[in-house]
Amino acid sequence: MKRKFLASPYIVWMMIFIVVPMLMIVYYAFTQDGSFSVENMVRAFGELPMTALWRSLYMAFISTVICIILGYPAAMCLCSKNLKRKSLILVLYMVPMWMNFLLRTYAWAVILERTGIINTFLASVGLPPQKLLYTDGAVILGMVYNFLPFMIMPIHSSLSKIDPMLIEAAEDLGANRARVFTRVTLPLSFPGIVSGITMVFMPAASTFAISQLMGNNTQQLFGEMVEQQFRTLYNYNYGSALSLVLLALMLLSMAIMRKFDKNGEGAALL
């Protein structure tokens, strides 16, 4: 028995459940009432979806940047030799994911509401109430909250793979801390950052539930548009065309990721 045949059940599975469904999206996107048409694709690149798309990308971009800024130091702390009980703390970072994200996001809404916990506290110390919920800031908070673990984990895993000898060697050669960081640690953890970005950016750009709970919903996000086509308006063709836009964006980001992660085969992901 050749070991490579162990992959055959998966290959069959993958064909049916990954490749064929993708082709179905393409098929639906380029047909209308069963015959070939570019109408839906043209519409998907129209002004309305593009406005929503830019807005989604903008929100996702800000969330991703915040996730890197918060997540990188966290991953470094988690790798620090000063830290005991590392595996426990790592697990503590994963446990929230075992509780439904919608519920946790809903709880944030309760915290941030006008009559919520923060504003009640502000009022009790005599400060005016702040509008925290129903803002873009709240939506971004929701995204950061939900996706930050997906930034910390891959960065942590790439940092923990760095041979401590390398850093010692750099220090022995006279590099100061900042230099060790910029010349050794940061470049070596780059694959982790890149997979973190892919794990955060695309989900943030396509979310629809978070914004419904945290935002004021006067502006649509791209994910909401897609969801609406499939679940409210049953326009599978136009919905597929919109999905294809997301798919194209994803392939683009995957191509970029591959460029940075040549040898990793996704190892940096976990």
Partner 1 sequence: MKKGFLQKLYLGILLIFFYAPILILVIYSFNESKIMGQWTGFTFKWYAELLRDDNVIQALYVTVGCAVIAALVSTVVGTAAAIGIHNMRPGPRNILVNITYLPLVNPDIVTGVSLMLLFIFLNMRLGFFTMLLAHITFNIPYVIFSVMPRLQQMNPHLYEAALDLGATPLQAIRRVVIPEIMPGVVSGLIMAFTMSLDDFVISRFTSVEAQNLAMLIYSRTRTGVDPTINALSAIMFVSVITLLLIANRKSLTADSKDHH
Partner 2 sequence: MNKKIALVLVLVLVLPALLGLTACGSKKPVLHVYNWEDYIDPAVIDMFEEEYGVTVKYSAFTTNEDMFALLQSGATSYDVIFPSDYIIERMIAEDLIAEIDYSLLPNFEHIAPEFASGVGYDPEAKYSVPYMWGTVGILYNTTMVSEPITSWEVLWDPQYDDNILMLDSIRDSLGITLKYLGYSLNSRDAAELEEAKLALIDQKEYVLSYVVDQGKDKMVRGEAAMAVVWSGDAAYAMAQNPDLDYVIPEEGSNIWVDAMVIPANSENQELAHAFIDFMCRPDIAQMNAEYIGYSSPNATAVANMDSAISGDERFYPSPEVIANCEYFHDLGDDLDMYNEMWSEIKSGATGN
Q: How far apart are CA 16 and CA 28, in angstroms?
A: 17
Residue 225 found at the interface with partner 2 (CB under 8 A): yes
Q: What crossing angle do the helices spanning 222-231 and 186-206 adopt, rounded to 10°?
A: 40
Site string for partner 2, 90-109 (x = CB under 8 A): -x------------------
Q: Taking CB under 8 A as the rule, does residue 51 contact partner 2?
A: yes
Binds partner 1 by CB under 8 A, chosen from 42, 48, 50, 83: 83
Nearest distance in Å: CB 71, partner 1: 9
Nearer to partner 1, 63 or 206 (CB): 206
Q: Residue 17 binds which one of partner 2, partner 1, none, with CB within 5 to 8 A depending on kind?
A: partner 1
Q: Is 134 in the site for partner 2 (CB under 8 A)?
A: yes
- Does 188 engage in binding with partner 1 (CB under 8 A)? no
Q: Is 233 in the site for partner 1 (CB under 8 A)?
A: no
Binding site for partner 2 (CB under 8 A): 47-48, 51-52, 87, 91, 113-115, 131, 133-135, 212, 215-220, 225, 228, 230-235
